[in-house]
Amino acid sequence: MSKQSAKKPSKLPDSDIEKIVIDESKDLVFDSEEDLYHHFYKEITKLEKEFFDQRADDDIAEKDFDQYEDNLNALLENPDEIWKDSETLKGIELNAYIKKFKSEDNETPLYHVAIVYLTDKIPSFVYLHFPTKSDVLVAKYRRGEKTYDRIEENIPFGAIDGDALHEGDDFAHGLYAAMMKVRSESDIKEEDFRKYGHLREESIEQPDEIWRSNDSMGNVLVSFIKEFSDEGDRTMHYVVVTLEDMPTNSHALLFSFPTADEALVGRYRHGENLQAEEVTQEASH
């Protein structure tokens, strides 16, 4: 198992001896790599045992790990996910960095995972890192608190778990962006959209109106609209935009939003007016 410090050794002030500084505030300063790994030996041993106990026999062979060594820097500099784990090693905060890479055949999954020590939110020591093609193994390191998600960093405030906008779907993002351009500046603030997210299911299951229309690309869009009163007793609507699959008459959630702008609601009242019992719902694509 390959282990290494994630940052170069640095010299302490007033010292002619090059020392390895992991976290000076906690006196994690070492004279040599031997001293460094001796200090973290128990943690490394436990994490390595857990890794080998969990990996499948048909995963990437350990003898081939060196072929993926270059992925470590890319992982540490630009992870897809970071998970803070305070339970695996009592009294020690671990952080799991996870990144998906392009595999040679473009079909087999390829991940790289690193368990690291953070100093000022920067990886300063790597307990272990490894490549894997196993989704199951990667899932075992998604534990504790997710502190970073690259996709979520780029999604709009209005994205809600379960819709295509939240999953980074380009089509949903384009429609959402178009909606945001035409809504009134005095309308409900975008950063407050998620406060109204609980209205989504009711709007789908008990809508006041359902409208079906075709866009210029031939996509069939179905909008569910329901009227509510907000906290100030102001009339507002909740709109859910879906993509219809004609053969099954089911609908994938694209995005949804609250609005007090009647003109904006009017933009979704076009095409064919449907009855609620004519449609069914499914998860986002």
pLDDT band at 227 (very low <50, low <70, confident <90, very high): very high
Domain boundaries, the chain: 10-149, 170-278
The token pair that represents 149 in the structure block = 């998600």
190: closest CA among 262, 238, 239, 257? 257
Q: What is the dihedral of CA 189, 195, 201, 205, to 10 degrees?
A: -60
70 contacts: CB under 8 Å, gap ≥ 6: none
pLDDT band at 167 (very low <50, low <70, confident <90, very high): confident
Average pLDDT in the 259-283 region?
A: 80
38 contacts: CB under 8 Å, gap ≥ 6: none
The whole-angstrom distance between residue 254's C-alpha and the CA centroid of its chain comes to 17
**Which stretches does DSSP call E strand in 108-205?**
110-119, 122-132, 145-149
Lowest mean pLDDT among 68-82, 156-170, 179-193: 156-170
Instruction: Tell me the residue type at 216.
Output: S
First to last CA, the chain: 38
Inform me whether the pLDDT recorded for 5 exceeds 80.
Answer: no
Average pLDDT in the 97-103 region?
A: 92
Q: Are 4 and 20 in contact (CB under 8 A)?
A: no
Inform me whether the pLDDT recorded for 108 exceeds 50.
Answer: yes
Average pLDDT in the 143-161 region?
A: 86
- The 10s digit of each residue's pLDDT in 57-84 is 999 999 999 999 999 999 999 899 999 9
| C-alpha span between 127 and 117 (Å, rounded) | 7
Rounded alpha-carbon distances, angstroms, from residue 215 to 136, 180, 243, 244, 246: 39, 18, 11, 12, 14
Q: What is the dihedral of CA 50, 52, 54, 56, to 10 degrees?
A: 170
Inform me whether the pLDDT recorded for 7 exceeds 70.
Answer: no
Note the pLDDT of residue 39.
96
- pTM flag (> 0.75): no
Residue 118 has a CB neighbour count (10 Å cut-off) of: 18
Inform me whether the pLDDT recorded for 278 exceeds 50.
Answer: yes
Note the pLDDT of residue 155.
79
Instruction: Tell me the residue type at 135.
Output: D
| C-alpha span between 167 and 161 (Å, rounded) | 8
